[in-house]
Amino acid sequence: MISPASDSGSSSDLHARAQRVIPGGVNSPVRAFHSVGGDPIYIESAQGSRIRSVDGREYIDCVCSWGPLILGHAEARVVAAVQRAAEGGTSYGAPTAGECELAERIVAIVPTAEKVRLVNSGTEATMSAVRLARGATGRDRIVKFEGCYHGHSDSFLIKAGSGAATFGQPSSPGVPASVAADTLSASYNDVDSVEAIFQSNGDTIAAVIVEPVAGNMGVVLPGEAFLQSLRRMTQEHGALLIFDEVITGFRVALGGAQALYAVAPDITTLGKVIGGGLPVGAYCASAALMDQMSPDGPVYQAGTLSGNPLAVAAGTATLRILQEEAPYARLGAMMDRLCGGLSASASAAAIPLTVHHVGSMAGLFFNAGPVRSYAEVAISDAGRYARFHAAMLQAGIYLAPSAFEAFFLSTAHTDEDIDAILAAASAAFAVL
Ligand code: HOZ
């Protein structure tokens, strides 16, 4: 007998039911709470900065669906746009005017975008961007950075961050050795490690792919001239530079990290915010590069639901609001206050804590610092993070159930929310 979701029972009832038919009971691993302990919270609904569980509890949400919800949950204009789109049908598998508008907004906002292809996830965007780079250069190898996560396609599950690092499998089983051999790993912020790879592989490298602000090993910031050095080295060796802005795009600034740090990649991947909470990814570049994609060019990529009218409606409504209301100064000030308060209360409790933030994305490490690479992330106290997570959850604050993720604020978060988060953190630090 299949029960309707409406009479779902408790989170633990649902998790027992889910595990009978879904691996780990979840459709994406990190949300299983394995690295922080306990059962996941099953969400019934959400509004603004709050999520409500099936157990009747309300939490201030600092995950924001892992980044997409920069306007908060169920933003009225986004919901209305999706409702209007749905009344006209949910998918056509044919081009629509909405896709033109979303693409035009992306081209207007992202400094290096002349053309863009919409896909359905960040993973599809990065997978396609690497295929474009390989097709355009005729080279096979890519360089990524340990602890960076670019989705779960084979080429990237080599020393990867996010869930791969969370579960201690940065290099996943199931990735053929022949594929892994074409992925070379460098250390984030270590320009010499990249130079060494280029010195021994230079003319076989199609691209360097980097999260310009690393958001999948906590949040690690680019050091002085790190991104500029990658730009220089790729140009010197005829390789392309891919900025994976799935998290940072429209988040750290309207134009993303490439606008914030004034470094121009050859290809940019996007996701999360671009879909306003519905599944949208994208990759963009110069017209000359993008015209190499099928049907005009030889490099193939396709997707039945690419450009889906509901997802496009949510993404377009979101970008329109971000363009018109420019909330970045307020989001940054709110995160400044939150991170400053976290550092101060950890210090008062003699808890070694390093907090990094850019705009409204942040990460914290139970580690005295500095934290500039995955090696330095890895010595953080994951057990202390798990205890902190549990204490914050008990206090009604929902943080990422992994020490290898970021936390986010939205335009729906209020000063009172920040006060509540800081009060809960101060109490948690006292018992960690
Ligand atoms: N890749 C997601 C965040 N970076 C994890 C989502 C999940 O496993 O729930």
Residue from 42, 66, 69, 156 whose mutation best tests the ligand 1 pocket (most atoms within 8 A of CB): 66
List active site positions: 149, 244, 272
% of the chain exceeding 70 in pLDDT: 98
Paired strand residues for 61: 398
Residue 96 CB burial class (10 angstroms; 0-12, 13-18, ≥19): middle
Closest ligand 1 atom, CA of 28?
8
pLDDT of residue 162: 84
Q: What distance in angstroms lies between residue 354's CA and the mean position of ligand 1's atoms?
A: 22
Residue 351 pLDDT greater than 90, yes or no: yes
Residue from 26, 27, 124, 162 whose mutation best tests the ligand 1 pocket (most atoms within 8 A of CB): 162
- Domain edges within the chain: 11-62+327-431, 76-324
Residue 17 pLDDT greater than 90, yes or no: yes
Rounded mean pLDDT of 406-410?
A: 98
Paired strand residues for 226: none
> Residue 326: pLDDT band by 50, 70, 90 thresholds?
very high
pLDDT of residue 1: 60
Q: Which of 5-14, 122-131, 201-210, 378-387 has the lowest mean pLDDT?
A: 5-14
CA angle 355, 186, 399 (to 5 degrees): 30
* Residue nearest (by alpha carbon) to ligand 1 atom 1: 162
> Residue 158: pLDDT band by 50, 70, 90 thresholds?
confident
Confirm or reject: Cβ of 405 under 6 Å from ligand 1. yes
Q: Which of 125-134, 154-163, 244-253, 400-409 has the lowest mean pLDDT?
A: 154-163
Rounded mean pLDDT of 106-134?
A: 98
Rounded mean pLDDT of 47-76?
A: 98
Q: What distance in angstroms lies between residue 317's CA and the mean position of ligand 1's atoms?
A: 24
Rounded mean pLDDT of 259-284?
A: 98
| Cα–Cα distance for residue pair 301/140, rounded to 1 Å | 17
> Residue 3: pLDDT band by 50, 70, 90 thresholds?
low
| Cα–Cα distance for residue pair 9/31, rounded to 1 Å | 19
Q: In whole numbers, what is the pLDDT of the chain averaged over residues?
A: 96
Q: Which of 169-183, 196-210, 346-360, 405-419 has the lowest mean pLDDT?
A: 169-183
Residue 25 pLDDT greater than 60, yes or no: yes
3-state SS, residue 415: helix
Confirm or reject: Cβ of 121 under 6 Å from ligand 1. no
Confirm or reject: Cβ of 315 under 6 Å from ligand 1. no
CA angle 254, 64, 400 (to 5 degrees): 120
pLDDT of residue 2: 64
> Which string of b and e fits 195-218 if b means at least 16 CB within 10 Å?
bebbeeebeebbbbbbbbbbbbbb
> Residue 181: pLDDT band by 50, 70, 90 thresholds?
very high
Residue 199 pLDDT greater than 90, yes or no: yes
pLDDT of residue 161: 82
3-state SS, residue 9: coil
Q: What distance in angstroms lies between residue 175's CA and the mean position of ligand 1's atoms?
A: 19
**Sign of the CA dihedral 99, 133, 107, 124?**
positive
Residue 6 pLDDT greater than 60, yes or no: no
Q: Which residue has the tokens 């949510």?
A: 314
Contacts of 56 (CB under 8 A, 6+ apart): none
| Cα–Cα distance for residue pair 40/34, rounded to 1 Å | 9
Confirm or reject: Cβ of 146 under 6 Å from ligand 1. no
- What's the DSSP call for residue 264? -
Q: What is the CATH number of domain 11-62+327-431?
A: 3.90.1150.10
> Which string of b and e fits 406-419 if b means at least 16 CB within 10 Å?
bbbbbbbbeeebbe
Residue 84 pLDDT greater than 80, yes or no: yes
3-state SS, residue 387: helix
> Residue 164: pLDDT band by 50, 70, 90 thresholds?
confident
Pick left, alpha or beta for residue 81 (phi over 0 → left; psi -120 to 50 → alpha; otherwise beta). Answer: alpha
Please, what CATH class does the domain formed by 76-324 belong to?
Answer: alpha beta
Question: Which stretches within 349-381 are classed as H helix?
Answer: 374-378
pLDDT of residue 171: 80
Q: Tokens in use for 361?
A: 């994305």
Closest ligand 1 atom, CA of 122?
1
Rounded mean pLDDT of 38-66?
A: 97
Residue 4 pLDDT greater than 70, yes or no: no
> Which residue, among 241, 283, 284, has the nearest Cα to 263 in the 3D structure?
241
Sheet-wide strand order for 407-408: 354-358, 361-365, 407-408
Residue 11 pLDDT greater than 80, yes or no: yes
> Residue 172: pLDDT band by 50, 70, 90 thresholds?
confident
Closest ligand 1 atom, CA of 162?
4
Q: What distance in angstroms lies between residue 121's CA and the mean position of ligand 1's atoms?
A: 12
